[in-house]
Amino acid sequence: MGGTPPLSPLALAAFPDLPEIGGVEFATAEAGVKYKNRTDVMLAKLAPGTAVAGVFTRSATRSAPVLDCQDKIGGDVAGGAAIIVNSGNSNAFTGKNGRESVSRITAATAQALGIEEARVFSSSTGVIGEPLPHDRITAKLDELAGKLDKGGIAAAARAIMTTDTYPKGASAEVEIDGQTVKIAGIAKGSGMIAPDMATMLVYIFTDAAIERSVLQSMVSANSDLTFNCITVDSDTSTSDTLLCAATGASGVRVTEANTGFIDALRDVMLDLAHQVVRDGEGATKFVQIHVGGAKSDADARTHAMSIANSPLVKTAIAGEDPNWGRIVMAVGKSGAAADRDLLSIWFGDNLVADKGWRAESYSEEACAAHMKGENIDIRVDLGLGGGTATVWTCDLTHGYISINADYRS
């Protein structure tokens, strides 16, 4: 890629101080998959008995690593496990060669760590359609195995970046029966973000002891409220993967009844999802869109995503223009139920349209002032029922074009 994009103006001030998770060790290496002079491979070693759950893209052209993970995700949890990730090449649209590359990488990882290949989960992110030089990765596995570090999660977050301008991490702690359970996660994602059952690459670790089926249920449900509610550009990746590993190192058993843990897991996932939006390619605005009054929650989400994915809406936000006519347009085209004469719209606290008309209290100055901020709130009431949804997106600027026009060079 030609040049590194400047740091997003919406970036976190610093990478968060994530807790060490018992039963997890990390290592990174420079394999030269695509990039020079930067780490581009991450290895996470997981203790025996670790339960691993996952959600993945449902793209019809999903990558070889995604297909391999889907085949393995419900397997036996008795032995140790590992996650191996490379950036720079997605190993997508690579045919049978892609499967062969995955097999070479997972077999070599299993040998280096002394675990079963069926417990090695791989991910790749980067350019689509280029053969993965897997030998560059396998050549680094002994080095990776030899420098595993339980405190290496920050370096792991950096190794999985592609067009990201900053590494993404989040954590939470929750008390269960007087004992502390920890959760820590990392993510990469900046463009090609419109998830379908997962998003980008996300890896979450907890020291809780959780049955795999229970963990899967928690992760899937929380994904629908977090990662599946963000969009940068309406494009769904071939490589979207979320893996969540519960090592059990704390000795604290978590079940479906532990709502505190479920909430904490959702908080970590939502934090990571928001960070991805804040690092949207070329983004200068973080946008929350809330739709209420729909006939159903599904209809509300359809309307919200129509607004969030509209290039006209997103460019108006980039230009700090409170053009509420574009909101009306996006609602009207979504395909979900709407009534022009019941529609109300707010920018921030400012009522713009009231039941099909421009609000009497509408103030161009007040709305324009709201649009100048970094955090934009748009609210729509359809007046049809009790369905609600909230999604998050960013604006669309010249920066997005520059980054993506130059992506393969």
* Tokens linked to 57: 């893209």
Q: 396 φ, ψ to 5°? A: -120, 115
What is the per-residue DSSP string for 233-294?
A: SSPPPS--EEEEEE--TT--B--TT-HHHHHHHHHHHHHHHHHHHHT-TT---EEEEEEEEE
Helices 64-72, 95-113: axis angle to 10 degrees equals 50
Cβ–Cβ under 8 Å, residues 379 and 290? yes
Query: What is residue 39's three-state secondary structure?
Result: coil
- Candidates 225, 173, 228; CA nearest to 199 is 228
Long-range pairs for 367-373 at CB < 8 Å and ≥24 separation?
367/322, 367/324, 368/320, 368/321, 368/322, 370/322, 371/317, 371/320, 371/321, 371/322, 371/347, 372/320, 373/285
Residues serving a catalytic function are: 199
